Amino acid sequence: MHTDLVAALDIGGTKIAGALVDGGGRILLRAQRPTPAHEDGESVMRTVEDVLGRLTVSPLWEHAMAVGIGSAGPVDASAGTVSPVNVPGWRDFPLVERVHRAVGGRPVTLVGDGVAMTAAEHWQGAARGHDNALCLVVSTGVGGGLVLDGRLHPGPTGNAGHIGHISVDLDGDPCPCGSRGCVERIASGPNIARRALEQGWRPGPDGDATAAAVAAAARAGDPVAVASFRRAAQALAAGIAATATLVEIDIAVVGGGVAGAGDVLFTPLRRALREYATLSFAQRLQVAPALTGTDAGLVGAAAATALGGRPGEAAAYVV
């Protein structure tokens, strides 16, 4: 018997993944297709329908009670639309209505991918047991999500926790979002690599000039590489401290490719947090690496499924 399964969709600029997830967060069936990111909106939707089709033909499908979608942002959960930056064919695309139709009227919940990852970390990862948490994804961009009062807090449009685009340097470099000195502009992988290159770091014989290569150089003691990670850590710390000061989180969970740098990131991050998180109620803040892996988007989308259909009342999962 598989009662209370949930269908999950994880929609990104590279792949569209789907799964049937049980009440324990286990993936019983999965399907995946590359995202035709540069084709028109209907072509992208056909790929979603194809992924869903691989789930609906399963005998397990009849137990799927609801669908949870975690999507690259921006999303608008109140309108049921998505406008992923890296999928130009989708602008205010009515994804919730289209999926709703494709799954025979089952309830559909939409959240941003940072919120989905947060739901997964709260359910099964490092934020488990924490009633107030910020989870970050530090990768090509910097995203995140919040748990407040023990529940996922997607916000009215499903974007809450979007720490990558808060300004921690109000006179700083222009950010592609239109603002200045955003956390992402300083701490994302490409910006860590850019800053190291600007300061004179050079890649090794393999030509790898990514943040992962900068992390390897930092571990080997390269001072420019160390300094670039230290600056990223400082921006992340200012953003995390701001979040702790605003909503009293007690843990910040950091995932994404850049978190793979390990101590090269986490040691200066913890040091900088002591400088920026100064108020008594913010000093208790812990920092931990994320525990959920590549399935976090699917597991989190399932976890974010709204029992009542309203994102603010989400978190169908039992912690």
Q: Does 238 bind its own copies (CB under 8 A)?
A: yes
Distance of alpha carbon 187 from alpha carbon 15, whole angstroms: 24
Query: Residue 230 interacts with its own copies (CB under 8 A)?
Result: no
Q: With contacts defined by CB under 8 A, how many residues of the chain interact with its own copies?
A: 48
The residue among 158 and 189 lying less far from its own copies, judged by its C-beta, is 158
Nearest approach in angstroms of CB 27 to its own copies is 30
Q: Any residues with CB less than 8 A from the CB of 92 and at least 6 apart, and which? A: 76, 79, 81, 83
Determine if 162 is a binding residue for its own copies (CB under 8 A). Answer: yes
Q: Which is nearer to its own copies, 178 or 200 (CB)?
A: 178
> What gap in Å lies between CA 226 and CA 215, rounded to an integer?
8
Q: How far is the CB of 97 from its own copies (least distance, A)?
A: 19
Q: Would you count residue 276 as binding its own copies (CB under 8 A)?
A: yes
Site residues for its own copies, 173-202, by CB under 8 A, read: 177-181
Given 234, 252, 297, 299, the residue binding its own copies (CB under 8 A)? 234
Q: What is the dihedral of CA 120, 122, 124, 125, to 10 degrees?
A: 90
- Here the tokens at position 269 are 């991050």
First to last CA, the chain: 22
For β-strands 64-71 and 108-112, DSSP reports them as parallel
In angstroms, what CA-CA distances link 156 with 95, 96, 139, 314? 17, 15, 25, 11
Residue number with CB closer to its own copies (137 or 242): 242
Contact 316, 66 (CB under 8 A): yes
Residues 92-131: x/- map of binding to its own copies (CB under 8 A)? Answer: ---------------------------------------x
One symbol per residue from 247 to 266: x for binding its own copies (CB under 8 A), - otherwise; what is it?
Answer: xx-x----------------
Tokens of 159: 């974007």
Least Cα distance to 39 among 102, 90, 92 occurs for 90
C-alpha distances (whole Å) from 278 to each of 177, 197, 236, 272 are: 29, 33, 15, 11
By CB under 8 A, the residues from 279 to 318 that bind its own copies are 279-281, 312
> In this structure, are residues 112 and 157 in contact, taking their beta carbons and an 8 Å threshold?
no
Give the shortest CB-239-to-its own copies separation in angstroms: 8
By beta-carbon proximity to its own copies, the closer residue of 32 and 283 is 283
- Tell which one of 146, 287, 304, 306 touches its own copies (CB under 8 A): 146
Which residues form the interface with its own copies (CB under 8 A)? 74, 76, 83, 131-132, 146, 148-149, 153, 155-157, 159-163, 165-171, 177-181, 234-235, 238, 241-243, 245-248, 250, 275-281, 312
